[in-house]
Amino acid sequence: MLTQQLRQLERDGIVSRIVHHQVPPKVEYGLTAWGQSLCPALDSLLRWAERREGGEDALR
């Protein structure tokens, strides 16, 4: 399942995949510039979730 998600993120241009041809096999993933552009939106979602964990009073 993780491999499927990573491959889809790669197709979407969000992550890049580097294959190192060695034994044992090694693959590295990293955010592309497009993927990094999602960070502010994800940070906003994280702050929203943290407020929710604080209860309804945190929203006022």
Q: What is the pLDDT of residues 4-42, one digit of tens each?
A: 999 999 999 999 999 999 999 999 999 999 999 999 999
Instruction: Write out the DSSP string of the chain.
Output: -HHHHHHHHHHTTSEEEEEE-SSS-EEEEEE-HHHHTTHHHHHHHHHHHHHHHT-GGGG-
| Confidence (pLDDT) at 52 | 84
Question: According to the model, what pLDDT value does residue 54 have?
Answer: 75
Angle (CA) 46-34-20 rounded to 5° is 105
* pLDDT over threshold 60, residue 60: no
Q: What range defines the domain where residue 38 resides? A: 2-59
Using CA atoms, how far apart are residues 24 and 55, in angstroms rounded to an integer?
A: 48
Task: Supply the CATH number for residue 24's domain.
Answer: 1.10.10.10
The mean pLDDT value of the chain amounts to 91
What would the pLDDT profile of 37-58 be if each residue is shown by its tens digit?
999 999 999 999 999 877 655 5
Phi, psi angles (nearest 5°) of residue 3: -60, -40
Count up the domains in the chain and report the number.
1
